Amino acid sequence: MTTMGEDGMAQDRQRVVLDTDGGVDDLAALWFLATHSEVDLLAVVATAGARPASLTARNAILLLDLVERPDVPVVLGGSGPIGPVPGIAPVEMHGAEGLGSLRPWEPSRGPVRATAEELLTDLTAREPATLITTGPLSTAAALIDTAVRLNAPVVMGGVIRRAGNALPRAEANIARDPSAAAQVVGHPWPSPGRLVPLDVTMTTTLGPAELAALEVAGTAGATLRRMLDHYRSYAPDPGNFPCHDLFTAMLAVEPSLAAYEPLPLRVDTGESAAWGMTVADLRPARTNVSAEQWPTWQIATHPDTHRFRAALRQAAIPNDR
């Protein structure tokens, strides 16, 4: 699909699919993608993770209702992990219903009846799309070696040089389905996938100016701001809080918001102390490394927090998409 740029020239819109697990920052990512004039949001996949798949689908539809996007289908993805998982504590920051402190209201519709594979096979039949994952990789793994045509994914997950959040060395999205993550990381994508780890998302924070911009960004923005008020109360500094999935969505659309380090990558599925860890080969001389067993991924580094915040404030300005 194309749009007209400011110079009157036709511009291709970025074809994306959002695979989400129903957290508040997932909804912030969805809000950004659904309202961006240069993004062609083909579908939302609701995968079980922070919340069950059915609740994730409902919340995605509620957000799409607020931004008046009835054209974007929501489909149920994986209802649970494809392999063994470590025990991790429940997440409270998203609220009982995945809407922060808000209670759900009535959605305009339900998820489509097709499977994720059926829907995405149809939507990508003529042209591939980029899969942005902001939850466990259960559905993404299931789509490998199907007729769905996907570019290399953009994955919010993992840790490279810092501690995890779900476990000492594991980030929550990876820890909720390490086997699926290992399959996605190990798949021979057309080009290297992009990993957006906690190393960068923990430092790309939002502050009072961004919350104020959302407050006056119509019903959708004001509602999202109320959700974020609950979400940020769990941050070490509620006045400057990370919004992991929002940054990942922005990075998928504008890759220059960060730098990248190509690193061989694997996921630990060994059910040991490192279970769920994204293991990058950080050695200067990487000997005895098989490209097949250790595929190279582009790891996001050095995020531009100033531009991230500016992009949020710009996105809050109403536009005729």
Angle at 70 (CA atoms; ends 69, 71), nearest 5 degrees? 90
Residue from 202, 198, 193, 173 nearest 276 by CA: 173
Across the chain, what does the average pLDDT equal? 93
Give me the sign of the Cα torsion angle 58, 60, 66, 69. Answer: negative
Compute CA 43 distance to the chain's CA centroid, rounded to the nearest angstrom: 13
217 pLDDT band, cuts 50/70/90, is: very high
The pLDDT score that the predictor gives to residue 291 is 78
For the segment 12-24, the average pLDDT, to the nearest whole number, is: 95
| Confidence (pLDDT) at 58 | 98
269 DSSP assignment = -
Q: Are 35 and 319 in contact (CB under 8 A)?
A: yes
Domain extents in the chain: 14-82+91-315
Note whether 248 and 303 are within 8 A (CB).
no
**Side chain identity, residue 284:** P
Per-residue pLDDT band for 168 (boundaries 50, 70, 90) equals very high
Q: Which residue has the tokens 């991790």?
A: 88
Higher pLDDT, 93 or 133: 133
Contacts of 71 (CB under 8 A, 6+ apart): none
Q: What is the pLDDT of residues 174-215, one digit of tens each?
A: 999 999 999 999 999 999 999 999 999 999 999 999 999 999
The answer to whether residues 172 and 242 touch, using CB atoms and an 8 Å cutoff, is no
Whole-number pLDDT of residue 111: 98
Closest alpha carbon to 34 in 132, 151, 136, 154: 132
SS3 label, residue 111: coil
pLDDT of residue 321: 46
What residue type is 173 in one-letter code?
N
Q: By mean pLDDT, which of 2-6, 62-66, 251-255 is the weakest?
A: 2-6
Q: Which two tokens stand for residue 158?
A: 């993992």
For the segment 84-106, the average pLDDT, to the nearest whole number, is: 91
Give pTM, 2 decimals.
Answer: 0.94
Q: 159, 197 in Cβ contact below 8 A?
A: yes
DSSP 3-state percent helix, strand, coil across the chain (nearest 5): 30, 20, 50
Top-tier CATH class for 14-82+91-315:
alpha beta
The predicted pLDDT at position 319 comes to 60
Range scoring the smallest mean pLDDT among 19-23, 172-176, 290-294: 290-294
CA dihedral 279, 283, 284, 287 (to 10 degrees): -100
Res. 6: pLDDT tops 50: no
Q: Return the pLDDT at 288.
A: 77
